[in-house]
Amino acid sequence: MPGWWLLSLGLLQTATLLLILWLPLAWPWRVLLLATWLVAGMHNLRLHTSRRLIRAVWQEQDRWRLWFADGRESSARLEPRYFQRGPLLQLRLRPERSRALPLLILPGMLPGESLRRLKVRLRLFADA
């Protein structure tokens, strides 16, 4: 997940905290809102950082092996939808029992032959 997403999430959490502290509420309501704010913030942070993809290896055809920041390992299949603009390539990988994840491939991330084979595979995938 991009750093700007975590930054915006942190700014939103901070603004919510300031609003809770600023509102003229009785202390039981304030404590309840602060507890809710804390639980929601911890849940969002855990959810977004644990799903962060740290490594992806293309195994064969449309199968990939994925490693996540929380230590999980999963296999995924390549979805037919992709985006290519110049040297950038964005793929969509669907892990087992999970929603699709974007994978941005920048120049130099794959050796030339592997990148060529992947692009050929994507073209064949799109035509099928």
Q: With beta carbons less than 8 A apart as the criterion, state whether 117 and 125 touch.
A: no
State the Cα–Cα distance between residues 69 and 67, nearest whole angstrom. 7
Residues 6 or more apart in contact with residue 56 via CB below 8 angstroms? 64, 65, 66, 67, 76, 93, 103
Per-residue pLDDT of the chain (128 residues; tens, 9 = 90+): 456 666 777 788 888 888 888 889 888 888 888 888 888 877 777 666 656 777 888 887 778 888 887 788 888 888 878 888 887 888 888 888 777 888 888 877 777 787 888 888 888 776 66
State the Cα–Cα distance between residues 49 and 63, nearest whole angstrom. 24
Secondary structure of residue 95 in the 3-state scheme: strand
- Write down the pTM of the prediction: 0.55
Element (H, E) at 118: helix 112-127
